[in-house]
Structure 1
Amino acid sequence: MKERKQACVTGASRGIGAAIALRLARAGCNVTLHYHSSAREAEQVAEQCRAEGVEVTLVQADLTAVDGVEQLFDQILKSPDVLVLNAGLSSYGLIQDVTPDEWEKMMNVHVRAPFFCARLALPHMLRQGWGRIITISSIWGITGASFEVLYSTAKGAVVSFTKALAKEVAPAGITVNCIAPGMVRTEMMTGAFSEEELAGIVEEIPAGRMGTPEEIAALAAFLVGDEAGYINGQVISPNGAWYC
């Protein structure tokens, strides 16, 4: 029997992270689900994944903290073959209103955590000559957004990190790709904007709708598969032709 791949998904308690975790479980991966504070939601995702017949490990860690990555990896039982770096925070407002504490938290969760998670996961991937790393950026990491300068800055760093790391590890059979979604219907979006505001944004999207977490998860699952082995260092933005 073929040994199951080990996948670790950060920010897996809801939204895109939860959808990716479930999709990878359905593909036969054992999954480590990271969450910060949403323990109940994370357990619900874990139950769904276990129903697919795979091993599931729940790990709590605060990736906005300086030592968050160490908190996470100290609890991981098996080194991941697949690492999905999804954990994140939203930030909306003028640059003048950003505090140093907000800056630190945003950069820790979006930039520091992916960098050092990958650093700790890579020795295992390098030894076996195979690995998949997927970063989750945003359409604003590509083109930037007013009133979201801090968020755009962090997500732009994720794009550059992805491209550079892919060049470094491609000779070892490891791929590193970035998914940069447009507007996706998650709690992060519905919690930040009213339905009227969301409808106004949707009017600007040629596809005429928001994406779904499941659509992002389908792309992630493809990038994990062997058929995607020559796709490396790419930034793929599912956004309904909003930005192309």
Structure 2
Amino acid sequence: MQQQAWVRHSTHGRRRIGVSMFDMAGRVALVTGAGQGVGAAIAAALAARGAAVAVNDVFTDRAASMVAAVEAAGGRACTAVADVTDEAAVRAMVADVERILGPVGILVNNAGIPADGIALQRFTETVPADWDRFIRLNIHGVLHCTHAVLPGMVVGGWGRVLTITSDSARTGEANLAVYAASKAAGIGFIRSIAKEVGRSGVTCNCIALGTVPPAGFDPGADPDRLARQLRLYPTRRLGTPADVAAAVVWLASDEAGWVTGQTIAVNGGFSTS
């Protein structure tokens, strides 16, 4: 919805005249794990508001397909193929993105292990080798990407760092102890760097998700299980990628400039603590 033209002075003396709410023209966003699912929805939503979007994925074809979709809708995008657990690969990726699109002002740490790749298992039945992929992706991946783009945001006097986490990080989850711990680490990290860079115009927040089914989810496959699950949600529905993307757009905008160090639950009321 178009808003009436307005004038705003930021804390850093910038003036934006005649822009509509959530306008991101001139911003560059890097979204990890954006070749499909929630990440793809986030990339599309940011592009729809005018941001140039770097689509990260470990698979070239998925990233390229998403870039084509953004460009077909009139947006600007580029592929950013890299494994975020590889620090050198992340630095090379960011250098390429900034050469093509410009300095990264919005980072969305979204890359994660798909739900169908996470097995429920009691902690005492796991071994350290089972923990590694959660730690590498949910902790090291977030650290690598943030470390690569944060100095440029500080120098530029504006930035948004967003990490997609899970309600399991806030409430705990039986049989998912290491996954929950790795997601909780992201929350502690974001809270800490928010205090380091806030005076530079950079905000850092997390979005904690309830259940967002993957593409191809068939609600009729196990109706009894679905009914039990829905009873946990006051909204009586599961989440969608669009629900997550809407929260990202707000937190990545100028309008959320006084929100930092927070974990915003997008979970249909599953947990209000």
1:96-135 to structure 2, matched below 5 A, reads 96-135=124-163
Aligned CA-pair RMSD: 2.3
2:20 counterpart residue number: none
| Residue 27 (structure 1) aligned with residue 49 (structure 2) | yes
CA contact (8 A) 2:187 2:263 kept: yes
Work out the number of aligned pairs and report it: 240
Residue 186 of structure 1, CA deviation:
2.0
Q: 1:87 aligns with which of 111, 131, 142?
A: 111
SS at match of 1:169: helix
User: 1:190: Cα distance to partner?
Assistant: 4.4
**Deviation (angstroms), 1:211:** 1.0
What runs of 5+ residues in structure 2 fail to find an aligned partner?
A: 1-23
Aligned-pair identity (%):
32
Q: Is the 8 A contact 2:33 2:39 kept in 1?
A: yes
Higher mean alpha-carbon deviation, 61-70 vs 202-211, is at 61-70
| Secondary structure in structure 2 of the residue aligned to 1:142 | helix
CA contact (8 A) 2:82 2:90 kept: yes
Q: Which residue of the other structure, out of 10, 13, 22, is the alignment partner of 2:32? A: 10
Q: 1:195 to 1:11 in 2, by over 3 A?
A: farther
- Deviation of 1:74 after TM superposition, in Å, equals 4.8
TM-score under structure 1 normalisation? Answer: 0.90
- Bigger drift between 170-179 and 109-118 goes to 109-118
| Contact 2:210/2:267, CA 8 A, preserved across alignment | yes
Contact preservation (8 Å) 2:63, 2:81 = no
The runs of 4+ residues in structure 1 deviating greater than 6 Å are none
Q: 1:69 aligns with which of 82, 85, 90?
A: 90
Q: Which of 195, 211, 215 is the matching residue for 1:183?
A: 211
SS in 1 for 2:130: helix
Structure 1 residues 66 and 125, CA, compared in 2 at 3 Å: closer, same or farther?
closer
Q: Confirm or deny that 1:59 pairs with 2:83.
A: no
Deviation at 1:67?
Answer: 4.8
Task: Provide the TM-score with structure 2 as the length reference.
Answer: 0.81
What does residue range 205-224 of structure 1 map to in structure 2 within 5 Å?
A: 205-224=233-252
Q: Amino acid of the residue matched to residue 104 of structure 2?
A: P
SS class of match (1:180): strand
Contact persistence 1:7–1:82 (CA under 8 A): yes
* Aligned partners of 1:118 and 1:133 also within 8 Å: yes
CA–CA separation in structure 1 for the residues paired with 2:265 and 2:129: 30
Residues 141 and 172 (structure 1 numbering): CA distance in 2 closer, same or farther, change over 3 Å?
A: same
Residue 254 of structure 2 is aligned to residue 230 of structure 1: no
Structure 1 residue ranges without an equivalent (≥5):
none
